[in-house]
Amino acid sequence: MSVELFQLKKRFVAPDGAAVPVIDVAEFRLGDGEQVGLIGGSGTGKTTLLHLIAGILTPDSGRIQFDLSGESAAAVPDGSVKASESAAVSSVGGATAPAAAVLDYRTTAATLAAGRITDITQLSEAARDIFRGRNIGYIFQTHHLLPGFTALENVLLGMSFTGRPSDPAWAKHLLKEVGLTDRLHYRPGKLSVGQQQRVAVARALANRPRLVLADEPTGSLDPKSAQQSLDLIRRLTAEVNASLMLVSHDPMISRQLPRVVDLAELNRAAG
Ligand SMILES: Nc1ncnc2c1ncn2[C@@H]1O[C@H](COP(=O)(O)OP(=O)(O)OP(=O)(O)O)[C@@H](O)[C@H]1O
Ligand SMILES: [Mg+2]
């Protein structure tokens, strides 16, 4: 899936009430299947940019367009929800979604199926959540695993909100790929920081996303684990034919990606 940004602007309100420009990007394109490293000092807007692309935040103006038209029909979710799938939405993870949530899911998913180019800035919050759940894998700067659930359950929960049936075999495959087959039933508190980070990588890939956004995924790891984690993210992203945008302030990491973009140059609001 390719992503294009046009005239993207975001301001935050400072504690004194002033509006501070944080993102001002004229144009940027990430190609289908491309792997890009984002670099830039602290506060240059890296996390904010990823949040905008993922639809966690909305911009003040500009467009963020996802194009799925370069992909085979089989790879693109058709957006239609079968009765069995909506049942899965309501029951995965032991939690039960209210009937209204399932209904909203059906209508929103059908709307999203209408076109292959989606401007996420034009979607409602509910539609952005569905679009993200289906198409984007996010590896957070802090990993956000749910402490009350095991490694396997954390990965399965990543599949809960897509309308597709959950796929334990794929979840186990991912945990095997990240070297945690013998830790499937451990809760995060009993895993090392590096192991928790690998669960977060597996969870981000749980839905076979079309785009992986990774925010300093190696920040809390020693150099050897950081290298392994980068290799893992790149290999798994390629395995599902997704595009990758990876933030790292560590040049040893970011320089390994085929294209490196400096926020100081891309983002006119930086610095
Ligand atoms: N909710 C908010 N309200 C006001 N200002 C914010 C908010 N979130 C971020 N900012 C400001 O926006 C700027 C960019 O923040 P962002 O988190 O995107 O930086 P970053 O490049 O990811 O930095 P780091 O490398 O430290 O993670 C910072 O100056 C920050 O103070
Ligand atoms: Mg950040």
Helix or strand holding residue 67 (H, E): strand 61-67
User: pTM here?
Assistant: 0.85
Tokens 């690998």 sit on residue: 198
The residues, ordered by sequence, that sit 6+ positions from 112 with a Cβ below 8 Å of its Cβ are 79, 118, 123, 127, 130, 131, 134
Q: What percent of the chain has pLDDT over 70?
A: 82
How far CA 93 is from CA of 154, 161, 186, in Å, comes to 9, 10, 16
Tokens 């899911």 sit on residue: 105
Q: What percent of the chain has pLDDT over 90?
A: 62
Q: What confidence tens digit (pLDDT) does each residue in 40-76 have?
A: 988 999 999 999 999 999 999 999 999 987 665 444 4
CA distance 28 to 249: 20
Mean pLDDT to the nearest integer, 15-40: 95
Tokens 């590096």 sit on residue: 194
What's the CA-to-centroid distance between 262 and ligand 2, angstroms?
14
User: Angle at CA 222, nearest 5°, toward 221 and 226?
Assistant: 60
Q: For the residues of 36-66, what is the DSSP string, one character each?
A: EEEE--TTSSHHHHHHHHHTSS--SEEEEEE
What's the CA-to-centroid distance between 205 and ligand 2, angstroms?
21
pLDDT at 165 over 90: no
End-to-end CA distance of the chain: 31
Q: What confidence tens digit (pLDDT) does each residue in 232-249 have?
A: 999 999 999 999 999 998
22 lines ligand 1 (CB under 6 A): yes
Strands 61-67 and 211-215 turn out to be unpaired
List the residue whose alpha carbon is closest to atom 31 of ligand 1.
43
| Residue in 261, 213, 266 with CA at minimum distance from that of residue 47 | 213
| Residue in 103, 115, 72, 86 with CA at minimum distance from that of residue 210 | 72
Structure tokens at 22: 């944080």
Per CATH, domain 2-266 is 3.40.50.300? yes
CA distance 151 to 180: 9
Indicate the top mutation candidate among 8, 39, 46 to test ligand 1's pocket, ranked by most ligand atoms within 8 A of CB: 46
User: Which residues pair with residue 142 across a beta bridge?
Assistant: none
SS3 109: helix
